[in-house]
Amino acid sequence: MSHVYKNLETAVIHAGISKDPFTKSVNVPIYQTSTFGQDNIRVQIEWEYARTGNPTRFALEELIKDLEQGYKGFAFASGMAAISAVLTLFKTGDKLVLSSNVYGGTYRLLDKVLSHVGIKYELVDTTDLEAIKKAITPEVKAIYIETPTNPLLDITDIKAVSALAKEHGLLTIVDNTFMTPYLQRPLTLGADIVLHSATKYLGGHSDLVAGLVVVNNADLAQKLAFIQNSVGAVLGPFDSFLLIRGIKTLAVRLDRHTDNALKIALDLTLNKAVTKVYYPGLKSHPGFEINQKQAKNGGAMISFLLDDKHDVRKFYASLKLITLAESLGGVESLVCHPASMTHAAIPEEIRNHIGIKENLIRFSVGIENYEDLKADLEQAIENSRI
C-alpha cells in the first residue's frame, strides 16, 4: 500500500492510477480506441493495440493489484473469462482439487469444457484439511477454493490450505468474489492467484459483467499476460471505467451490506419457519472462528432453509421489495433459488449430497434500509405458509 495512506477505505479511491497522467483529471478517461500511433518501427512503445493493453483497463488492473496487494492485475470480459484464463495455465493430465460447492459455472467449465482437453478435477470438502491431503496425487497441480462458498457459505482456512499447497508445490487459487479485498485478501495469506467476478460487489450496481485476476509473482504475471493477450477475452474501456467508479464506494457499500446482513441473519435464526441459517458472521457457524481470523466480517450473503410447512415458490412470489434474480453483490437486495438457478448445472444427486436442497434460499443483502428489508422478508415467509 502507498506511503500516504494505510487503509483500504482510502485505497479504493486513490490506489492504482488515481489521476490521468496526461491531464491530471481526477478520473482516468475512457480511452475508446483500438490502436495507438507509433513514431517509427522497432522503437519501444508503451501502447500498441487495445487487446494487449488499454490505459483505462490498465488503471483498473493497477487498482485491483493494489487492493489485493499482489504483483499484477488483469481485467477480463466476465468472471468466467477470468476463471478460464487462469485454468488455461494448466495442461492435459493436470488435475485440480476444487471446493465441493464451488460456483456452478466453474464446475461446468471444468466438467463440460476443460474435460475435452484432459484437465481433470476432484470436488473435495476443502473445509477439511485432511480431505485435501488425501486428494493430493502427483497429477494435482493446484487447489482452487472459494471461501465462503456459494451458496452454503462454508469457510476454508486460506492460510492452512496455502501452506499445504506450498509443501506439495501446488498453486493456491482463491475465488474472492463473495468477500472482495475490502473484507479478505487471500494473497496476504499465502495464496498465489486471487480472482473475482467483478460483476458482483466490486462493480456493485448490477450494471456490468467483468472479471479480475491478481497474481503474486512475475512468472505467473508473464504467463497470464500471454494468455490474456492470446485468448483475448479482455474488458472494454467503458466497462473498465464503470468498474473503477464502482470500486470507489466499495468500502462504504460493504459496511452497510454487512451491517444489514448480520441483523437479518440474527432475525432469521429467531424465525420459527426457518430451520437453518448459513451465515459465517454468526457464532453458531462452524467456520466462524477461521473466518474471523482471515476476514473482516461475515460478508453479506446469507442462505437459509424454510421448514416443510412453508412453500418456497410462494415465498419467492410473495416478495415485494426484494427481487428474485441471478447474481448478487449489487446495492439492491436479491434472492435466488440455487437448486434451479445458479446451481442447476450440478446434477441433482450431487446437489442433494452437498446440501443444495429444494427449500434452500440464497439472499444477497443489499444496502436498503434494514427495517424495510426485514418487513419484506417476514411478510413473504408468513405468506408462504402452506
The active-site residue out of 200, 256, 351, 362 is 200
Based on the shown chain and the rule CB under 6 A, indicate whether residue 200 belongs to the binding site for ligand PLP.
yes
Q: Which residue's CB is nearer to ligand PLP, number 55 or number 148?
A: 148
Q: Which residue's CB is nearer to ligand PLP, number 195 or number 224?
A: 195
Q: Reduced to 3 states, what is the DSSP secondary structure of residue 363?
A: strand
Burial of 356 (0-12, 13-18, 19+ CB in 10 A): buried
Residue 246 zone, left/alpha/beta (φ > 0; ψ -120 to 50; rest): alpha
Residue 200 falls in the annotated catalytic set: yes
Based on the shown chain and the rule CB under 6 A, indicate whether residue 177 belongs to the binding site for ligand PLP.
yes
Q: Which residue's CB is nearer to ligand PLP, number 108 or number 168?
A: 108
Q: Which residue's CB is nearer to ligand PLP, number 109 or number 136?
A: 109
Q: How far apart are CA 286 and CA 95, in angstroms?
A: 29
Based on the shown chain and the rule CB under 6 A, indicate whether residue 176 belongs to the binding site for ligand PLP.
no
| CA distance readout (Å), 146 to 161, 174, 178, 236, 318 | 12, 6, 8, 27, 32
Which of 17, 63, 75, 80 binds ligand PLP (CB under 6 A)? It is 80
What are the respective helix, strand and coil percentages of the chain, to the nearest 5?
40, 15, 45
Residue 328: name the closest of 302, 356, 305 by CA: 302
Q: Which residue's beta carbon is nearest to the bound ligand PLP?
A: 79
Q: Supply the minimum distance, in Å, between the C-beta of residue 361 and ligand PLP.
A: 16
Q: Which residue's CB is nearer to ligand PLP, number 188 or number 327?
A: 327
Based on the shown chain and the rule CB under 6 A, indicate whether residue 78 belongs to the binding site for ligand PLP.
yes
Which of 62, 146, 157, 239 binds ligand PLP (CB under 6 A)? It is 146
Binding marks (x or -) toward ligand PLP, 204..223, rule CB under 6 A? Answer: -----x-x------------
Q: Supply the minimum distance, in Å, between the C-beta of residue 264 and ligand PLP.
A: 19
Beta-bridge partners for 192? none
Of 78-86, 93-101, 282-290, 333-341: span binding ligand PLP (CB under 6 A): 78-86
Q: Phi and psi dihedrals of 335, rounded to 5?
A: -120, 155
CA dihedral 370, 371, 377, 380 (to 10 degrees): -150
Based on the shown chain and the rule CB under 6 A, indicate whether residue 243 belongs to the binding site for ligand PLP.
no
**What's the maximum distance between 2 C-alpha atoms anywhere in the chain?**
75
Alpha helices in the chain, H assignment, sequence order: 8-14, 55-68, 79-87, 104-108, 129-135, 158-167, 180-183, 218-231, 237-247, 250-270, 288-294, 312-318, 348-354, 370-383
Q: How far apart are CA 356 and CA 375, in angstroms?
A: 26
Q: Supply the minimum distance, in Å, between the C-beta of residue 103 and ligand PLP.
A: 4
Based on the shown chain and the rule CB under 6 A, indicate whether residue 54 belongs to the binding site for ligand PLP.
no
Based on the shown chain and the rule CB under 6 A, indicate whether residue 61 belongs to the binding site for ligand PLP.
no
Of 5-13, 55-63, 72-80, 288-296: span binding ligand PLP (CB under 6 A): 72-80
Which of 147, 197, 206, 258 binds ligand PLP (CB under 6 A)? It is 197
- Footprint of ligand PLP on 92-131 (CB under 6 A): 103, 105
**Bond prior to 151 in cis (omega within 30° of 0):** yes
Q: How far apart are CA 154 and CA 383, in angstroms?
A: 30
Residue 245 falls in the annotated catalytic set: no
Based on the shown chain and the rule CB under 6 A, indicate whether residue 175 belongs to the binding site for ligand PLP.
yes
**Bond prior to 148 in cis (omega within 30° of 0):** yes
Q: How far apart are CA 365 and CA 359, in angstroms?
A: 19
Q: Which residue's CB is nearer to ligand PLP, number 200 or number 285?
A: 200
Based on the shown chain and the rule CB under 6 A, indicate whether residue 150 belongs to the binding site for ligand PLP.
yes
Q: Supply the minimum distance, in Å, between the C-beta of residue 197 and ligand PLP.
A: 3
CB of 57 closer than 8 Å to CB of 28:
no
In angstroms, how far is the first alpha carbon of the chain from the final one?
55
The active-site residue out of 51, 120, 263, 314 is 51
The active-site residue out of 65, 72, 95, 103 is 103
Where along the sequence are the contacts to ligand PLP (CB under 6 A)?
Answer: 78-80, 103, 105, 146, 150, 175, 177, 197, 199-200, 209, 211
List active site positions.
51, 103, 175, 200
